[in-house]
């Protein structure tokens, strides 16, 4: 399939000077073939999209979520993290079955597509059903089976993760990747983490783990092991594998240096961290140190949406007010976190920019709504003014999966109706 997008503004995200006010973008198969200014070259294209009044940019990358937790949206609000988990979330999660996970993931993917996300990094359970949802919908995902080292099924989690990697890694033309998902330092002791690392080495895959999300976690780990969670992960061998560390809210200078040295990607989740009062991650310091910091929404039960456009704005505003410095995290840097840096944090070198040879993962944002006019600075408009409803078209792997806000790969209304029914049934179980 060849797709020409012409008369389009382009934010390629390969430098602040790479903006094209009016140009064209050519897709051949699953790759970007050409990006240029001015008129498109003459040729026979299977499909042409008129980009007048729109801007093309890389698809947004959600570097940390728990997709099927859309089914728990609004169920347990206004609680501290550990109370939220132990008294509300974990008991209800225990009632979920595999079909629930499929439909919850479908709901999450619906929401993400409609707000411009083309790749997400997910940790949950029944992940073969999540993989089926990813395969069907056309989105791109890095998936992991959450593993609790202190639970009775800790060995089963390792065995299940092995099967998932062997069955699904690089499936759907490479859109699906599997990594291992040890939950956190407080649920996975060092001896269990060593087993996880050994399996990751055997399968040649990476890790996705929560680290230093709350002050209580840091204090507990310090009291138990005499070191910070980051230092404990280093000593347990975790950082010998490519690692995405979610949250990283409570870090010291030594922790940041370790994350940089071992090229650990960080997923910053500002809205979830604010809602659960977990704290404010030292994102400006991490970025200055050269750590690849992406943006994530976390699960919909602690956010309560999966809207990366909203997450970008929250990120920018949070760090400006927390530092009392309006120059911190300027708009372009935040957009990098949601695109190029997110790709780097996940080790996905083939996405995150619009350039020849990269995967054709991109979105078209409508620039004609009242809140997007005037347009002195396109990037500032996207970060500070745009809404999810401005996302017009979504393309992943060269396939149009949403056109003029209509999803093309599955029945959106069926997903909404099924998930409402699943939620009603879940409460009665």
Residues 7 and 89 in one domain: no
Residues 45 and 74 in one domain: no
Residues 134 and 45 in one domain: no
* Claim: this prediction has a pTM higher than 0.75: yes
Q: What is the pLDDT of residues 186-238, one digit of tens each?
A: 999 999 999 999 999 999 999 999 999 999 999 999 999 999 999 999 999 99
Residue 53 lies in a domain: yes
Residues 36 and 137 in one domain: no
Residue 414 lies in a domain: no
Specify the pLDDT at position 80.
83
Residues 110 and 149 in one domain: yes
Specify the pLDDT at position 76.
86
Specify the pLDDT at position 360.
98
Q: Which of 295, 315, 345 is the last residue of a domain?
A: 345
Residues 108 and 306 sit within 8 Å (Cβ to Cβ)? yes
Residues 305 and 177 in one domain: yes
Q: Which domain holds residue 135?
A: 60-345
Q: Count of alpha carbons within 13 Å of 318, Cβ hemisphere only?
A: 22
CA distances from 82 to 191, 230, 400 (A): 24, 20, 41
Cα–Cα distance, 394 to 114 (Å, whole number) = 8
Compute CA 183 distance to the chain's CA centroid, rounded to the nearest angstrom: 16
Residue 416 lies in a domain: no
Compute CA 324 distance to the chain's CA centroid, rounded to the nearest angstrom: 28
DSSP letters, 296-351, are: ----TTSSS---HHHHHHHHHHHHHHHHT-TTSS-HHHHHHHHTHHHHHHTT-TTS
Residue 219 lies in a domain: yes
Peptide bond into 374 cis (omega under 30): yes
What CATH number should be reported for the domain holding residue 158?
3.20.20.140
Residue 428 lies in a domain: no
- Which residues make Cβ contacts (< 8 Å) with residue 226, sequence separation at least 6? none
Residues 33 and 135 in one domain: no
Give just the sign of the alpha carbon dihedral 70, 76, 82, 87.
negative
Residues 105 and 29 in one domain: no
What CATH number should be reported for the domain holding residue 369?
2.30.40.10
The first and second tokens of residue 138, run together, are: 């056309």
Specify the pLDDT at position 15.
87
Residue 82 lies in a domain: yes
Residue 398 lies in a domain: yes
Q: Cα Rg for the chain, rounded, in angstroms? A: 21
Residues 28 and 125 in one domain: no
Residues 388 and 256 in one domain: no
Q: What is the pLDDT of residues 43-88, one digit of tens each?
A: 899 999 999 999 999 999 999 999 999 999 999 889 888 888 899 8
Residues 212 and 290 in one domain: yes
Residue 412 lies in a domain: no
As averages over each run of 10 residues, the pLDDT of the chain (429 residues) reads: 96 91 98 96 93 98 98 90 87 94 98 98 98 98 98 97 98 98 98 98 98 97 98 98 98 98 98 96 98 98 96 98 98 98 98 98 98 97 98 98 98 98 92
Specify the pLDDT at position 85.
85
Structural domain count of the chain: 2
Residues 278 and 388 in one domain: no
């Amino acid at each position: 399939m060849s797709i020409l997008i012409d008369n389009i503004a382009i934010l390629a995200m390969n430098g602040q000077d790479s903006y094209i006010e009016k140009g064209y973008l050519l897709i051949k198969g699953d790759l970007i073939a050409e990006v240029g200014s001015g008129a498109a070259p003459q040729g026979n294209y299977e499909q042409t999209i008129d980009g007048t009044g729109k801007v093309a940019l890389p698809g947004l990358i959600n570097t940390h979520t728990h997709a099927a937790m859309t089914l728990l949206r609004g169920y347990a609000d206004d609680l501290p993290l550990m109370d939220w988990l132990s008294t509300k979330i974990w008991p209800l999660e225990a009632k979920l079955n595999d079909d629930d996970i499929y439909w919850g993931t479908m709901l999450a993917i619906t929401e993400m597509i409609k707000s411009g996300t083309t790749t997400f990094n997910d940790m949950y359970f029944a992940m073969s059903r999540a993989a089926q949802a990813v395969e069907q919908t056309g989105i791109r995902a890095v998936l992991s089976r959450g593993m609790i080292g202190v639970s009775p099924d800790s060995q089963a989690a390792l065995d299940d993760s092995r099967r998932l990697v062997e069955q699904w890694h690089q499936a759907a033309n490479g859109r699906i990747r599997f990594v291992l998902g040890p939950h956190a330092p407080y649920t996975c002791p060092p001896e269990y983490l060593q087993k996880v690392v050994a399996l990751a080495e055997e399968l040649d895959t990476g890790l996705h783990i929560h680290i230093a999300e709350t002050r209580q976690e840091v204090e507990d780990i310090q009291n138990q092991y005499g070191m910070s969670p980051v230092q404990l992960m280093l000593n347990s061998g975790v950082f010998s594998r490519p690692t995405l560390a979610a949250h990283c809210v409570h870090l010291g200078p030594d922790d940041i240096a370790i994350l940089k040295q071992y090229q650990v990607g960080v997923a910053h989740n500002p809205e979830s961290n604010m809602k659960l009062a977990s704290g404010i991650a030292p994102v400006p310091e991490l970025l200055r140190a050269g750590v690849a910091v992406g943006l994530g929404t976390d699960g919909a039960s602690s956010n309560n949406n999966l809207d990366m456009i909203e997450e970008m704005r929250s990120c920018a505003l949070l760090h400006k007010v927390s530092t009392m410095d309006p120059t911190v995290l300027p708009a372009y840097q935040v957009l990098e976190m949601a695109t190029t840096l997110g790709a780097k944090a996940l080790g996905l070198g083939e996405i995150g920019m619009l350039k020849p040879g990269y995967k054709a993962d991109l979105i078209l944002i409508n620039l004609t709504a009242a809140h997007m006019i005037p347009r002195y600075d396109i990037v500032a408009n996207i970060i500070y003014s745009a809404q999810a409803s401005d996302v017009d078209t979504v393309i992943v792997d060269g396939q149009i999966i949403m056109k003029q806000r209509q999803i093309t790969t599955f029945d959106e209304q069926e997903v909404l109706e099924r998930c409402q029914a699943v939620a009603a049934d879940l409460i009665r179980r």
